[in-house]
Structure 1
Amino acid sequence: MTMDQFPPGYASETKGPMILCVFWAFFFVSALLVSARLYIRAWWLRNIGLDDYIIAGAMVMLTGYTVVTTINVGLGYGKHTPVIMQDGGIELLTKILIINYADFALGIMSFATPKLAIAALLNRVMNPGRFHRVWLWCLTGLVFVASSICIVVLFTMCNPPEALWKVDLIAAAATCRPQLVLVGYAIFTGAISGFVDLYLAIYPAVVLARLQITLKKKLALCAALGLGAVACAMAIVKCFQLPNATADLVIWTSIESNIIIIASCIPTLGPLYELARGNRSWSSHQRDYKNSGGQLHSASFDRLSKKPTFGDRRDAELMTRNIGTMKDGSQESILRVQENAKGVQHPRDRIQRTDQVVVEYEMNPVASSRPLF
């Protein structure tokens, strides 16, 4: 079939520019936030955690996904298949298909891995009970396992597997399962991913609603910790794109992956937010963390806050501290206590509140000159 048989402008139609625009715009934001997060946690606070390592690994996968997609678009991905065949023949089409399937695997892992980082972050910040800790890991682990199986299903669709990208083998001796098998399982994986995104967004909001903090702070924290709800919407849209398997599927996968990474980073930028407001100085904040072995005491907030009122001090702590989930909803549940041999309770590896009392007096000059007896 020659190009003359297609409508005018068919050969110039491509989604390549749109793919690159969406990919790199979101990637720039994700890279910026991840860099800020790792800088704050590793260099400023000197308190890097498991969630930071996981999000760094997810960012590596997202970088690979973005770079490989860019290479594929440069080869012609996003154009119509007849146009690709005319430009480079079956060899070019085979090369694009190979890269596309490798890109598919990177895309799946780039939106599955950040969910593990969110689970680690919520376990560290929200300080849930043991059951809920296990439950969060099970939910996010289920998405990771289901996504990994989806990759296996993809590369075992045909026998031999090369028939996925070698078009000549499909018409020869290759045997392939119906495309509906892959599409159905991919929709199942997307549904699980969307449900977990929604749960990870609702859970912090429910906990924060019970805390005795200002409404403004509640809304800010709910927005920061609940951004995963947007990723849920992206997962739903992606499920509707799966039956067609067009270039739009690649775009929505990228958006979902980036949104999850962004959602996992925003709650960790509290110290940077406080610094921007002028509530803390860089040197004082760093010195207090270093002197206290990584645990910034409440007294430090008293010195660094512009307005060291009780309510403001408590709200500031919630930006970087563990939030308990006791039924009374009091901020005192931030502290996790344990008893020593004498039965005295004290914080265990958590925030320690230090109250300093200074008594000043001035002796009367006249009275000081009199004898004591």
Structure 2
Amino acid sequence: MGYTQGEMIALGFIFVVLPTIFVGLRIWARFIRRAGLGADDYTILVGWAFTLSVCTVHLIAAIHGELGQHQAIYPNGEPILDDPRFIIYEKCKFSLHMLSVLGLGFTKVSVILLYRRIFRMPIFQRICLGYIVVIVAWTIAFFFACLFQCTPVTPFVEGFYGNKCTNVLVLYNTVSGTDVALDVLIIILPIQPVLSIKMSLRQRLAVLGMFLLGLLAVASSIARLVSFVQCDTVLIEHYNDETYYTSGVFVWTVVELVMAVISACLPTLRPLFMRSKKNATPDYPEYPRQYGSSYGSGKSGRRSGYMLSVDTRQDDFDMPAMASQDAPGVQIQIQRSSFDDRQEPTDGVIHVQHSTTWSDQDFPAQPKQSV
């Protein structure tokens, strides 16, 4: 359950680097698609900033405090409460809990905003708004609950200080338990919309797999909850060695934040792995073929289309915005040929014909009107 000082410092630096890499890749993916930042990008940047602040607190506690080390005690075994390094540890622990709540809150909101950008069904959009309200309320409530653990406000929350404080172990367990519940609800949120989309089973599983990468964050939040529960029992016996036996709480709190940021960024990195299409039409977004975006060949004259919601932006690069079966939509059909209407050679120039049909159904049976 304990760690050495060197391990805690090394982990702190790793935790700084990992989320920074993935946030940088996310911004790069936006740049190469020539798309501006959206609300989900801005919120993940704030979440990343709080993650770095938590990592900084972790490093300060390990370098200048007693995190990962045995606590200084008197010859009779009682803890030295006024030891400068222990005081730094106490202040860092107090800051860690508040900053982690803010970081998790912004990261969760970023994921929901990403869902709203991808899935345009009206009912799903309203559900997402409800999720955002709950997450914001959770963030505000537990931030102030951690801030006002004691009256007056103080980082010295342990009982041997004699301050008037709430039961902090119950508070931390509640924060961690509700955090796990929110993560699970966020993970299952896109399952029904994905299953309702007109794609093959393999394609649906691929999309679900991308969103289920968030299970990494869920696993980390569960591990954090377990570390809190273990501290409840261990600290009863080792009350005079808190800095050593709470090392796991520090580690898993930072790991959860790091994994939450990484999981929020992973679904947006697809453009970095897409192969450039030699014959892509510049007038339309280059959506991946497995999401239903395909082009007919000039030889066969075959046509196929993909669904976009009417308010889809061209910076929705992660995947096509997915509309429900009863939502208004545009069906775009593209046919490529190597000859124009006069059947004359075009010297390698590709002419694109497209037809657009407006209807209230995803794939209307109306005759298509050529443009």
Does residue 359 (structure 1) correspond to residue 341 (structure 2)? The answer is yes
Q: Measure, in 2, the Cα distance between the counterparts of 1:34 and 1:298.
A: 22
Q: Measure, in 2, the Cα distance between the counterparts of 1:98 and 1:113.
A: 23
> In the alignment, what sits opposite 1:261?
261
| Higher percent of residues as strand | 2
> In the alignment, what sits opposite 1:340?
none
Q: Measure, in 2, the Cα distance between the counterparts of 1:206 and 1:354.
A: 29
**Is contact 1:41-1:47 (8 Å) kept?**
yes
Q: CA 1:20/1:160 → structure 2, altered by over 3 Å: closer, same or farther?
A: same
Q: Measure, in 2, the Cα distance between the counterparts of 1:93 and 1:193.
A: 28
Q: 2:54 aligns with which of 59, 65, 70?
A: 65
Q: Measure, in 1, the Cα distance between the counterparts of 2:341 and 2:36.
A: 36
Q: Please, which runs of 5 or more residues in structure 1 have no aligned partner?
A: 1-12, 328-332, 338-346, 364-373
Q: CA 1:313/1:198 → structure 2, altered by over 3 Å: closer, same or farther?
A: farther
Q: Measure, in 2, the Cα distance between the counterparts of 1:209 and 1:69.
A: 41
**Is contact 2:267-2:318 (8 Å) kept?**
yes
Does residue 111 (structure 1) correspond to residue 104 (structure 2)? The answer is yes
Q: 1:56 aligns with which of 45, 62, 72?
A: 45
Q: Measure, in 1, the Cα distance between the counterparts of 2:303 and 2:169.
A: 52
Query: Could you give the per-residue CA deviations for residues 226-268 of structure 1, whole angstroms, max 9, x where no partner exists?
Result: 1222322322232232241722112112222122211211111
Query: Could you give the per-residue CA deviations for residues 28-87 of structure 1, whole angstroms, max 9, x where no partner exists?
Result: 332212111112224632232100010111111111111221122111322122269999
> In the alignment, what sits opposite 2:127?
135
> In the alignment, what sits opposite 2:217?
231
Q: CA 1:201/1:61 → structure 2, altered by over 3 Å: closer, same or farther?
A: same
Q: 2:35 aligns with which of 38, 46, 51?
A: 46
Q: Shift of residue 310 of structure 1?
A: 8.4
Query: Could you give the per-residue CA deviations for residues 280-314 of structure 1, whole angstroms, max 9, x where no partner exists?
Result: 47xx98x93xxx5xx627799768x9xxx989986
Q: Shift of residue 217 of structure 1?
A: 3.1
Q: Shift of residue 221 of structure 1?
A: 1.8
Question: Cα RMSD between the aligned structures?
Answer: 4.0
TM-score w.r.t. structure 1 length?
Answer: 0.69
> In the alignment, what sits opposite 1:31?
20
Q: 2:207 aligns with which of 208, 221, 237?
A: 221
Q: 1:176 aligns with which of 151, 164, 170?
A: 164
Residue identity matched to 2:208: C
Q: Measure, in 2, the Cα distance between the counterparts of 1:310 and 1:247.
A: 63
3-state SS of the aligned residue for 1:82? coil
> In the alignment, what sits opposite 1:326?
325
Alignment of 1:314-353 (within 5 A): 319-326=318-325, 336-337=328-329, 347=330
Q: Measure, in 2, the Cα distance between the counterparts of 1:299 and 1:359.
A: 29
3-state SS of the aligned residue for 2:323? coil
Residue identity matched to 2:252: W
Identity rate, percent: 14
> In the alignment, what sits opposite 2:239?
none
Q: 2:276 aligns with which of 271, 274, 279?
A: 279
Q: Measure, in 1, the Cα distance between the counterparts of 2:97 and 2:224.
A: 13
> In the alignment, what sits opposite 1:9?
none
Q: Measure, in 1, the Cα distance between the counterparts of 2:208 and 2:202.
A: 10
Q: CA 1:264/1:104 → structure 2, altered by over 3 Å: closer, same or farther?
A: same
Q: CA 1:185/1:312 → structure 2, altered by over 3 Å: closer, same or farther?
A: farther
Greater gyration radius: 1
Query: Could you give the per-residue CA deviations for residues 352-373 of structure 1, whole angstroms, max 9, x where no partner exists?
Result: 555566434259xxxxxxxxxx
TM-score w.r.t. structure 2 length?
Answer: 0.69
**Is contact 1:112-1:143 (8 Å) kept?**
yes
Q: CA 1:64/1:268 → structure 2, altered by over 3 Å: closer, same or farther?
A: same
Q: Please, which runs of 5 or more residues in structure 2 have no aligned partner?
A: 233-245, 308-315, 346-371
**Is contact 1:297-1:353 (8 Å) kept?**
no
Q: Measure, in 1, the Cα distance between the counterparts of 2:181 and 2:304.
A: 35
Residue correspondences, number: 310
3-state SS of the aligned residue for 1:242? helix
3-state SS of the aligned residue for 1:227? helix
Q: Measure, in 2, the Cα distance between the counterparts of 1:25 and 1:57.
A: 19
Does residue 160 (structure 1) correspond to residue 152 (structure 2)? The answer is yes
3-state SS of the aligned residue for 1:46? coil
Q: Measure, in 1, the Cα distance between the counterparts of 2:264 and 2:302.
A: 29
3-state SS of the aligned residue for 1:226? helix
| Higher percent of residues as helix | 1
Q: Measure, in 2, the Cα distance between the counterparts of 1:132 and 1:26.
A: 34
Q: Measure, in 1, the Cα distance between the counterparts of 2:57 and 2:302.
A: 52
Residue identity matched to 2:164: C
Does residue 120 (structure 1) correspond to residue 113 (structure 2)? The answer is yes
Query: Could you give the per-residue CA deviations for residues 290-343 of structure 1, whole angstroms, max 9, x where no partner exists?
Result: xx5xx627799768x9xxx9899869x99422122327xxxxx7xx44xxxxxx
